[in-house]
Structures are given as C-alpha cells and as structure tokens.
Amino acid sequence: MSERATTVEGVRRTNLGEVLRLVHHHGARSRATITADTGLNRSTVADLVSELATRGLVIEQEPDATRRVGRPSPIVAPSPDVVAIAVNPEVDAIEIGVISLGGVVRERTRVAFAHPPTPADVVEAVTRFVRAWQAGAAQARIVGVGLAVPALVRADDGIVRLAPHLGWHDEPIAEQLGTALEIPVLIDNDASLGARAERLFGAAREHHDVVYLNGGASGIGGGLILDGRLISGAGGYAGEWGQTRPGILSDEDRRTDGGVLEDEVNRARLLAAAQLGAVDDAALAAVLAATSDAGVVAEIDRQRRILIATLANAVNVLNPSIVVLGGFLAMLRDRDAGAFDAAVRAGALQAPAEQVELRAAALGADRLLIGAAEAAFAPLLSDPLSSSAR
C-alpha cells in the first residue's frame, strides 16, 4: 500500500472516530451540527455518517419537523444496539450492566455475596449473565467488557496488583474474563472510571480540571482530570485519595491511630452508627438525610469535618474548577451542602476557592458502570473500522 493511501485511510479512520465520539458523548445531532462541530465539509460528513450507519454504529432519524428555515438535516444518533458489558465487583456484590452507545444503561443487575467475591466468582457471574443476555438480545452487538475494580491496576498489562478489600493480589482477571467470554476486556480503577463518566456524561461535563472522590463499601478512591485529560500516573495508580493521611484538627475526631482517610471517613462506620445492615446506597442516603439521632448526627459531622479538610487541601494543590463526590461521600455533603461547600472554601486559599464548584455525582449508582463501559468503548471510538466494530 502506498504512503498516500495509508495516510488517506488513517485520516478517514480518525474522522469516523471523531463523528462517532461526538454523537456518543453529546447525543443525537443533525448532520449540519456535526459539520459545524467537526469543521469538515457537508459531503465528507454525509459520507462518514453513511459509513457508520452501514456498520450499524449510528442510526439516522427524520429531521425536526418544526424546523422551517432551510433544508432539514437528518438527525444522527448512536445505535442503541451497540453495547458494552460493565462490571464492578465490590466487597458484598458484583454489579453488572449493559450500556449502549450514548452512555445509556439498558440493564443492570446485582449479584450479592456473603463474602468478597474472588476473581473466579467474577468470571463465573459475568459469563453467566452475558450468555443469558445474549440469548435474549439477538440484535445487540457486544464490543467489549469494562471492569471497574476498587484496586491498584497496573496500566501496562491490566494486572490487579492489589485490591485490599477484595483480598486480590496480582490477579490477571481481565485476561481470565476475556478468555472465558472471547470478548475484549478493559480494566481500570473504579474511581478513575467514575471520574471519566462524570466528566463525559455527568456533573463535570463542562469542566476540564476535575477532582473526583468516590466512597463505597471498599473505601475511598478517586480520579483526577487536568486540562481535560485523566491523570493515571507512572504506573496507573494515581488517585488513591483513601490512602492519604487525613488532616484531623481534634484528637476527639480520630478513630484509628495512624489511620488513613478511608479508615476515618468510612461507610461501615455510618452503617454501624445508624444500626443498619448491608443496605444499598439509596437506603443509606435516606437514613442519613432524615436522621435526628444524636449518635448518627455526631458521626456524620465528624466524617464531614475530616472530608472537608481533605478537599480544602485538594483545592489548594490542584486548583480544580469542580470537585465531584460520589457514593456515601455525596451523602455526607448533602446533609447540609451549603455549609459543607462554605467550609471547604474557608479551608482553602481564597483565589482557588473562588473558582471551585462542589457537586454530587450526577450519574448516581450508574457512574461506575458507565465509566467501565467507556473503557470498553474506547478502542471502537478510536477506530470504528477496527475488528471490535464488527
């Protein structure tokens, strides 16, 4: 193949990916809007959309009938039949979802465990789910599986170096699951994927500099986006907010000598204070929002003070335009969001504090699954002509 032919083919693949990413991340839009957004000419956009439609990656819909000026432009939307399987193992369950292009959750299930699931448990549960789902969804195409794991995941090869709350050490779970399903599997830290989901589809959609902290049953993780790029660090381990040493101003607030943030700001402590069992986030949120029990309120306030100090430090060091909190961390803020935000700003330097916004994760319980799916979609979005597109 000549160098020119290779270059032309490369440009075409790049343009196809740009159009597909546009409708995937920003929703259905007219050809005219795609032309304006990409800077490509009308005939090129028409050709690219036709190619994507032929491959079943987008669908074209009738233009808006209310538009009366000029020639109506067809609407291009991501195909709902192109999906990724998203998986999030936690200490008490495995969450599995089917996410279509456009970040739409088509289906989700929770497989409960009385003990932290092993890699073999995950492979078995996900394989069973995928086989059953495929049998009832003949029109759908699974392009990949995304694994969001509360763990240190080595970027080079996807090995889970350490998932302390799951008890995993040096586990090649992505390889194991890929072999069982014969489907590509992508893996990353759960909170990093949650940060990506909130940046693309949720609370941080209009922001390029984002600090994200997620609180779950396995502890506290996080993600960092600077200048629009997810920061992973030298080995892929960046964002372990839960392992930082918290600023605790009063010894009365300390519960663990020499403990890290997730030892002090802790979902299990909230459950114990509220005398709750293994409930989901919705049930916990309802109790924390409504309680007047003095013991529960005291524990909420203690955890809020420690979390506020951590976030003020993050604002000073990283100067984000937004801090997004997910899981039980969002519940702590929501108890009195105004006072919480004011305290974070008061603890930070005035200049970065004036710029920062604090918000709860907008995607709720779907954030980690949508993030995991985004990892699975990445090869397709990069090159829609790749084998994963077929």
Give 309-318 pLDDT, tens digit per residue.
999 999 999 9
Q: Kind and range of the H or E element at 323?
A: strand 322-327
Say which residue the tokens 């600077």 belong to. 226
Q: Kind and range of the H or E element at 13?
A: helix 3-26
Longest dimension (CA), the chain: 75
At a CB cut-off of 8 Å and minimum separation 6, what does 262 contact? 219, 220, 242, 243
Q: Which two tokens stand for residue 97?
A: 């979802």
- Could you tell me which of 8, 5, 4, 33 has the C-alpha nearest to residue 19? 33
pLDDT value at residue 352: 96
Say which residue the tokens 């960046």 belong to. 238
HSE of 346, CA atoms in CB hemisphere, 13 A: 8
Measured CA to CA, the distance from residue 331 to residue 328 in angstroms comes to 5
Measured CA to CA, the distance from residue 306 to residue 349 in angstroms comes to 18
Residues of the chain with pLDDT under 50: 1-5, 389-390
Give all strands of the β-sheet with 229-230 in edge-to-edge order: 229-230, 219-226, 210-216, 322-327, 357-360
Concatenate the DSSP letters of all residues of 49-95 into one string. HHHHHHTTSEEEEPPPTT--SS----EEEE-TTEEEEEEEE-SSEEE
**Cross-strand partners of 109:** 96
Query: pLDDT tens digits, residue range 297-330?
Result: 999 999 999 999 999 999 999 999 999 999 999 9
Q: What is the pTM of this model?
A: 0.89
pLDDT value at residue 2: 43
- Residues 73/31, Cβ–Cβ less than 8 Å: yes
- Residues 305/262, Cβ–Cβ less than 8 Å: no
- Residues 88/95, Cβ–Cβ less than 8 Å: yes
CA terminus-to-terminus distance, the chain? 23
Cα–Cα distance list, 154 to 359, 366, 377 (Å): 30, 24, 20
Nearest-5° angle of CA 194, CA 110, CA 196? 10
* % of the chain residues with pLDDT over 70: 95
Q: Kind and range of the H or E element at 46?
A: helix 42-54
Say which residue the tokens 């990949």 belong to. 144
**Antiparallel, parallel or unpaired: β 168-171 and 219-226:** unpaired
Query: pLDDT tens digits, residue range 193-251?
Result: 999 999 999 999 989 999 999 999 889 999 999 999 999 999 999 989 999 999 898 89
Measured CA to CA, the distance from residue 332 to residue 75 in angstroms comes to 42
Cα–Cα distance list, 236 to 153, 157, 216, 224, 240 (Å): 6, 10, 20, 12, 11
pLDDT value at residue 306: 97
The pLDDT mean for the chain works out to: 92
